[in-house]
Amino acid sequence: MKPLIQIDNVRFSYPNEENPAENTEVLKGISLEFEPGELVAVLGHNGSGKSTLAKLMNAVLLPTEGRVTVCGMDTADEEKLFEIRQHVGMVFQNPDNQIVATIVEEDVAFGLENLGVPSDEMRDRVDQALHAVGMYEYREHAPHQLSGGQKQRVAIAGIIAMRPDCIVLDEPTAMLDPQGRKEVMRTIKLLNRDYGITVILITHEMDEAAQCQRVVVIDHGEVRMDAAPEKVFSHVQLMRELGLDVPQPTELVDLLRQAGYDLDPEIMTVEECVDAVAALMTKQSGNV
């Protein structure tokens, strides 16, 4: 099976604001592949290049060097741009910047109108998309009356209605409260599990990354780690050196391991941590 998105030795530079004659290199020869049906988190501190990477995936930006392909199509091919963006949809950090209509269902239909989808099919797609994100009952509401999490789910519905193979979300929960973050993460996992949509989640939230199947860590424009979340987060010291946290249970286990207790470094959830510590205490009490 061919990768859905392939990134080959990609470099990207922005003009230097202080000295326009010079460029600031943001990505430094990155190579990655994303397969159909994956749920992937991309982690990195501010300025690491993760948002630039997101914009390269549906041709919002083009590489300075290297190549990005979507379903085999080169993002630098202007004739393929429309088709590429039908395969890869994008959701940005601030939902207010993506909502264009005064009624929820009209906003979800906006992209379909641009595609020239027939009205009957449009109605079906809008309803299905709103059901998918749990916002159907709000279809006739004004977006400005919604919470941040609800607005973001409407923005996601607008992308779903266009039926892409992949959705790239660039820090979609950064401006949301804890409840809003839970709503959006629940929606993301549902889309991946029930609809088979490939999801690439750009985030700085460790608990969100821990819920994904794969985690890519970027630092200063380079890929530092690419593995299952429990493998990535077991490198506690390296994550700290990169300016990133790990889930709290993993951090506790690391402290206990430093104190000499034999615990699995890949423990990542509260439940796993509780079970492991309870088993350790039972074992030690039996040895007394």
As given in the structure block, the two tokens for residue 118 are 């027939």
- Measured CA to CA, the distance from residue 50 to residue 27 in angstroms comes to 9
Q: Give the model's pLDDT for residue 163.
A: 85
* 15-31 pLDDT tens trace: 877 777 788 899 999 99
Specify the pLDDT at position 142: 94
What pTM did the predictor assign? 0.88
Q: Which ranges in 173-228 belong to alpha helices (H)?
A: 178-195, 206-209
Q: Of the candidates 242, 236, 257, 235, which has an alpha carbon nearest to the alpha carbon of residue 204?
A: 242
| Sequence-ordered list of residues with C-beta below 8 angstroms from that of 226, at least 6 positions apart, any chain | 32, 214, 215, 216, 217
- Residue 48 CA to residue 26 CA, distance in Å, equals 7
Q: What is the pLDDT of residue 182?
A: 87
Query: Rounded to 5 degrees, what are φ and ψ at 8?
Result: -115, 110
User: What local confidence, expressed as pLDDT, does residue 283 receive?
Assistant: 80
Provide the 3-class DSSP secondary structure of residue 96: helix
All domains in the chain, ordered by first residue = 5-246 (3.40.50.300), 247-288 (no CATH)
Which positions of the chain have pLDDT values less than 70? 286-288
At residue 288, the pLDDT reads: 52
Tell me: the pLDDT tens digits for 43-100? 998 889 999 999 999 899 999 999 999 999 999 999 999 899 889 999 888 888 888 8
What pLDDT does 287 receive? 63
- CA distance linking residue 105 with residue 60, whole number of Å: 26
Q: Where would I find the beta strands (DSSP E) of the chain?
A: 5-15, 23-34, 39-43, 65-70, 73-74, 88-91, 166-170, 198-203, 214-219, 222-227
